[in-house]
């Protein structure tokens, strides 16, 4: 499993219960169970813990922005299988995936990033509403009743 930057680090830190920088067999097994064999409520708790960088039991819009900024913009279809993102080489254009030539990829990627930042701000505002921070219970409630985008973006990263 290849996770982009901070998402991989956060997942590792959640699994490494004794904080020794090494996963024991038990930590690895428990981590896999937590990621793949948990109930919806347990998954929501896991995603909340991924966002809660300072582990204070609360998350804010900046926590969401930091995490979602590391979710890949695109995924590449190779031989019929969705594979890891190829940022800088592939980008989204007109609703379809295409390869940019050497003269245009930077400009298109910048515009794609700009659009994604605007979408990100929209989803954060929709999720957070008028709150500056949310706790785990509020995160669960918002995910179930208002918007699941914040939950789904991270839970589907492979």
DSSP string, 72-110: -S--EEETTEEE---BTTEEEETTEEEEPPTTTHHHHHH
Overall domain count for the chain: 1
pLDDT at 98 over 60: no
Highest mean pLDDT among 26-30, 61-65, 85-89: 26-30
- In sequence order, what are the beta bridge partners of 91? 98
Contacts of 104 (CB under 8 A, 6+ apart): none
Residue-range definition of the domain harbouring residue 59:
5-155
Banded model confidence at residue 127, pLDDT cuts 50, 70, 90:
confident
Share of the chain above pLDDT 90, in %: 28
Q: Is the pLDDT of residue 57 over 50?
A: yes
What CATH number is given to the structural domain containing 24?
1.10.238.10
pLDDT value of residue 130: 92
More reliable by pLDDT, 103 or 27? 27
Average pLDDT over residues 106-120: 61
Q: Is the dihedral of CA 114, 117, 119, 122 positive or negative?
A: negative
Mean of pLDDT over the chain: 74
Q: What is the pTM of this model?
A: 0.67
Question: pLDDT of 3-40, one tens digit each?
Answer: 557 888 888 999 999 999 999 999 999 999 988 898 98
- The kind and range of the H/E element at 133 are strand 133-135
What is the average per-residue pLDDT within 115-138? 87
- Positive or negative: CA dihedral 149, 132, 129, 111: negative
């Amino acid at each position: 499993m290849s996770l982009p930057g901070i998402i991989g680090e956060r997942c590792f830190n959640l699994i490494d219960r004794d904080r020794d920088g090494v996963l024991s067999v038990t930590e690895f097994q428990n981590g896999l169970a937590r990621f793949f064999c948990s109930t919806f409520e347990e998954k929501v708790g896991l995603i909340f813990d991924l966002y809660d960088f300072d582990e204070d039991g609360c998350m804010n819009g900046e926590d969401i922005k930091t995490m979602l900024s590391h979710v890949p913009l695109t995924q590449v279809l190779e031989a019929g299988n969705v594979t890891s993102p190829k940022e800088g080489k592939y980008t989204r254009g007109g609703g379809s995936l295409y390869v940019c030539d050497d003269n245009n990829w930077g400009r298109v990627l910048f515009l794609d990033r700009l659009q994604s930042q605007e979408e990100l701000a929209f989803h954060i505002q929709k999720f957070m509403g008028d709150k500056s921070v949310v706790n785990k219970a509020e995160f669960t409630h918002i995910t179930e009743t208002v918007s699941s985008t914040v939950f789904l973006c991270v839970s589907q990263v492979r």
